[in-house]
Amino acid sequence: MINIRGIDFQANTDNDMGLEFYNLSHRFGFQNPNWPYFEDTKIERIHYMAKSGVLSQRITTTMHATTHIDAPAHVVQGTPFIDEVPLPHFFGTGIVVSIPKKKWEPITGDDLEKACGHVIRKNDVLLINTGWHKQYEDGDYFAYCPGLVKSAGEWMVEKGIKVVGHDTQANDHPLATAIGPQRNGPLMPHLAEEYKEWSGGVDWKDAFPEWEPVHNILFKNGILGIENVGGDLDAVTGKRCTFAFFPWNWDRGDGCIIRLVAMIDKGQKFRIDAGESF
């Protein structure tokens, strides 16, 4: 048992199911880290103990804060909203793979093939641990993330995965978004010269000529993306797990904050009920 504020809860492995549970989500709440142009998360107590004898809170937030899943409609017009995505897309087995990356380094199709091409299965959930989740805070995390590039998206389509998650800021490299020279950007124009120096003289418009190519490749092929994976990610890296990450049933939703959970059944004794009548 584990005691929290005077209430006893069964601990991680001390439960009737015999399952191990791992939280792979960053925190959400007061001053959670945010993308450069998002408004801050606001949480207000509408009712509280001294006033009402109960606690009720009102939240104002974008759904693209902290650990969240994108609906295809977030980027590709005319594709499914979050409530239209079939429920099996939010549950399944898969792997957590280590692909260490530093500032602005690309995650390529070759990286994925070397890391997990021999073990990936069709319809897998694929989580990528670059180590960047350790940088998750209000600061340089968003601007300097490593990121997926076009060849990685093409590799995922070829392998037939159904969901990809990663410990970086978006399903694309940050400079292929509005942080860099794309669409409504650059949100951070000072990065242009910094990137040129970092890259040895390459202009960021030449390095990232397309707007969010990985988002577009994934979403047009029915593959969903989980951004800002974190929590106990290191504890399950290199393992095959079962994952659950259900969003709200939000009509015409563009995405949703999720509690991403990995589950391991070492004893292989747990089974989902067969749905028999009683």
49 located within any domain? no
pLDDT on residue 144: 98
Q: Which amino acid is at 84?
A: E
Residues 251 and 237: their CA atoms lie apart, in Å, by 34
Q: Could you tell me if residue 70 is inside a domain?
A: yes
Instruction: Report the pLDDT value the prediction gives residue 14, as an integer from 0 to 100.
Output: 60
CA distance 254 to 40: 19
Q: Which structural domain, as residue segments, surrounds residue 90?
A: 19-25+65-264
The answer to whether position 47 is within a domain reads no
Q: Is the peptide bond before 86 cis (omega within 30 degrees of 0)?
A: no
Determine the pLDDT at residue 1.
64
Tens-place pLDDT, residues 199-226 = 999 999 999 999 999 999 999 999 999 9
Q: Are 18 and 262 in contact (CB under 8 A)?
A: no
Global pTM value:
0.94
pLDDT of residue 37: 87
CATH code at position 95:
3.50.30.50
Residue type at position 234: D
How many domains does the chain fold into? Answer: 1
Please give the C-alpha separations between residue 3 and each of 10, 22, 51, 96, 173, in angstroms, as whole numbers: 9, 18, 28, 31, 42
Convert the pLDDT of each residue in 35-58 to its tens digit.
998 999 999 999 999 999 999 999
What residues in the chain have per-residue pLDDT under 50? Answer: none
The vertex-233 CA angle with 113 and 272, nearest 5°, equals: 90
The H or E element spanning position 179 is none
